[in-house]
């Protein structure tokens, strides 16, 4: 077994300085106190307590203790704490990390300049609590905001003219810091970003990341309350599934490491070097050889695949006879990824099963087994083959996640990002819940838990095939049925089964169409004809020639015919009268009345029904001219003729009487 320890593991400069200051005071003073644990390491704090150092958590406790020296912990404290300690009559020794003191100075200056302080970090961490105490008086919440995660960053809603200064906890993850700063930057504030992450922290995290990538297992050593150790664990866990978080050697089960070839060790900034060396020694080749000697009497090992017969089944547990001195146990969560599955519905007494050994001794003398992880390994092999062969897989959607879909193949999970679900934007992914879908594997890296599926390329390929088939059979002039896919102000896109055709607003009717949405809705079936094909573009039309209203225009609108229509639109020179859909006639301003009319809108209204006489018909240019004046003149002449006839009759009658 190869053991590798990160170069930067263990005490950083600030922690080492703080611990040394406490030990130095122990030799000089009788009454030594630390304001909170000097560092986040239980072993160090315990050793100091044994040497007479008292940890106080609040200034009120000082009332009960004799005067002495209070050492400010490496995480720092709010500004007002110093004055209050002096008021109690205690001497102050400041062990605050110089990097933290730099942050205190920055936020104090910037907040007094009127800038709003954004503190990126864990709001309950003592370092962050200390930083808050340097923002103005430390009591005005509107002078600072603590951001722990993306949600906090998104929720920032300050006045637009607010000036921001962004600092961060010295032990914060640098990549996460960048992500949160990017979210805040998009809000448009005047922002000053100060990267206050300790260089040692960045270096330690980078080393842990690189070591985890090449290790079969990682050991992260540090106190459970240590923020920087927790972040090291998270970084290593992403790169190496077999990552263990311990505080001291006693927390480590060496049997867990028998099957590993390369083991990496890193430690938080508060971890003493003696603990790191102790763990390294225990993991050394000599210790490992001793483990192998012990292993000779063992018939099974962690990681072995065993076969057994089901002795009993409960809802949450399966007991197997695996031919070993102890029985094997498969817990519910090691049988399947399906939550709350009833195991009595899955297996029966007498069934033969294969499982993988998790622990030879689970602490109660039984062998801890996993069926799920063995199935996952088989599933991974299945997915790897599919990845290499670009095989199309079919599975039901197991879960709808924030950024995509999760499907399971033989207990192995495949993630399909939202961008790879369809060739168009999918706003509601819930419609896929429980659905059977097809996809291909485009990325296979189970070590990093990145197994990516792609449904989009299958849809694109299918549409390309349908498109090719469609263009091989269509031609200009043919009628075709399709489904309304999208409607815009200028027309409607019709899905023809392989490609979309555009039905322009001008081709929707022989008449005038103001709004396509009044004629169609998405999902409507419509039969059109192909007006034109230009490359991949298909122009459609509903203006079928046999429905052209101009075919019989000479019969219906011969010169001299009185017609009735509706005022459709007006210009300064005349009004256009719709006689029927597709046929508009011009009523010139000079033909509206015998009296002078300046413009049509003085006497006519849109939608008004009028009667006029056809005075001109040009079928070639599709023009019809109307006149109300001509019709009224003729009607007036007829009235005059009738009047003259009546007079003549009366005169004749009078003459006859004489």
Which residues are 82's β-sheet partners? none
The answer to whether the CB of 530 falls within 8 A of the CB of 539 is yes
**Ramachandran angles phi, psi of 500, nearest 5°:** -100, 140
Question: 377 catalytic, yes or no?
Answer: no
Which residues are 407's β-sheet partners? 397, 414
Which residues are 35's β-sheet partners? 56, 72
The answer to whether the CB of 481 falls within 8 A of the CB of 525 is yes
- Nearest CA to 395 out of 413, 375, 417, 374 is that of 413
Where helices occur in 120-187 by DSSP H, the ranges are 126-132, 150-155, 174-185
Q: Identify the active-site residue in 16, 79, 113, 127.
A: 127
Where helices occur in 255-331 by DSSP H, the ranges are 273-282, 285-295
DSSP 8-state class, residue 73: P
User: To which residue do tokens 């090691």 refer?
Assistant: 334
For 169-257, where are the E strands, in sequence order? 190-193, 217-221, 243-246
**Ramachandran angles phi, psi of 120, nearest 5°:** -95, 120
Angle among Cα 276, 277, 280 to the nearest 5 degrees reads 90
Which residues are 92's β-sheet partners? 70
The answer to whether the CB of 631 falls within 8 A of the CB of 587 is no
Return all residues near 392 (Cβ < 8 A) that are at least 6 apart.
438, 439, 440, 458
Distance CA 213, CA 127 (A): 30
Where helices occur in 334-482 by DSSP H, the ranges are 372-389, 456-473
Looking at the annotation, which residues are catalytic? 127
């Amino acid at each position: 077994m190869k053991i590798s320890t990160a170069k930067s593991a263990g005490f950083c400069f600030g922690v080492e300085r703080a611990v040394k200051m406490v030990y130095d005071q122990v030799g000089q003073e009788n009454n030594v106190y630390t304001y909170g644990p000097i560092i986040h390491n239980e072993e160090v704090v315990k050793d100091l307590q044994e040497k007479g150092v008292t940890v106080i958590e609040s200034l009120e406790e000082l009332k009960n203790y004799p005067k002495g020296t209070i050492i400010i912990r490496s995480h720092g404290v709010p500004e007002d704490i110093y004055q209050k300690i002096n008021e109690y009559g205690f001497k102050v020794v400041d062990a605050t990390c110089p990097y933290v003191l730099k942050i205190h100075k920055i936020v104090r200056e910037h907040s007094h300049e009127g800038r709003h302080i954004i503190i990126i970090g864990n709001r309950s961490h003592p370092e962050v609590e200390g930083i808050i105490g340097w923002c103005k008086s430390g009591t005005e919440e509107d002078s600072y905001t603590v951001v722990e995660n993306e949600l906090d960053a998104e929720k920032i809603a300050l006045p637009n003219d607010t000036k921001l200064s962004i600092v961060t906890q010295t032990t914060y993850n640098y990549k996460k810091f960048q992500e949160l700063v990017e979210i805040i930057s998009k809000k448009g504030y005047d922002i000053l970003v100060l990267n206050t992450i300790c260089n040692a922290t960045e270096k330690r995290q980078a080393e842990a990341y690189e070591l985890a990538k090449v290790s079969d297992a990682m050991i992260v050593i540090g106190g459970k309350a240590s923020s920087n150790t927790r972040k090291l664990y998270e970084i290593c866990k992403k790169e190496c599934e077999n990552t263990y978080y311990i505080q001291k050697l006693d927390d480590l089960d060496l049997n867990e490491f028998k099957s590993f070839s390369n083991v990496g060790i890193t430690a938080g900034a508060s971890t003493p070097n003696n603990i790191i060396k102790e763990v390294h020694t225990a993991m050394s080749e000599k210790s490992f050889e001793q483990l192998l000697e012990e292993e000779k009497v063992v018939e099974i090992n962690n990681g072995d695949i065993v076969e057994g017969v089901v002795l009993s089944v409960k809802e949450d547990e399966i007991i197997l006879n695996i031919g070993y001195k102890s029985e094997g146990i498969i817990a519910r969560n090691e049988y399947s990824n399906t939550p709350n599955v009833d195991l009595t519905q899955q297996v029966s007494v007498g069934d033969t099963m294969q499982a993988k050994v998790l622990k030879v001794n689970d602490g109660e003398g039984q062998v801890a087994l996993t069926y799920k992880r063995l199935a996952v390994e088989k599933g991974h092999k299945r997915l790897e083959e599919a990845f290499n062969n670009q095989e199309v897989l079919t599975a039901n959607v197991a879960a709808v996640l924030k950024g995509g879909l999760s499907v399971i193949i033989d207990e192995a999970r495949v993630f399909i990002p939202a961008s790879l679900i369809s060739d168009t934007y999918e706003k509601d992914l819930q419609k896929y819940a429980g659905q059977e879908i097809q996809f291909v594997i485009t990325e296979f890296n189970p070590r990093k838990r990145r197994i990516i599926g792609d449904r989009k390329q299958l849809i694109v390929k299918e549409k390309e095939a349908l498109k090719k088939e469609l263009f091989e059979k269509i031609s200009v002039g043919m009628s075709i049925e399709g489904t309304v896919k999208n409607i815009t102000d200028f027309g409607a896109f019709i899905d023809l089964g392989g490609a979309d055709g555009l039905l322009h607003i001008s081709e929707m009717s022989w008449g005038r169409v103001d709004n396509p949405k009044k004629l169609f809705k998405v999902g409507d079936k419509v039969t059109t004809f192909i007006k034109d094909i230009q490359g991949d573009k298909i122009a459609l039309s509903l203006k079928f020639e046999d429905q052209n209203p101009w075919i019989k225009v000479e019969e219906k609108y011969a010169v001299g015919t009185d017609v009735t229509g509706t005022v459709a639109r007006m210009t300064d020179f005349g009004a256009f009268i719709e006689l029927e859909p597709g046929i508009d006639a011009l009523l010139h301003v000079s033909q509206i009345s015998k009296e002078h009319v300046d413009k049509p809108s003085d006497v006519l209204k849109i939608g008004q029904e009028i009667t006029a006489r056809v005075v001109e018909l040009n079928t070639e240019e599709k023009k019809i001219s109307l006149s109300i004046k001509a019709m009224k003149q003729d009607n007036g002449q007829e009235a005059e003729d009738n009047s003259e006839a009546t007079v003549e009759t009366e005169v004749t009658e009078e003459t006859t009487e004489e």
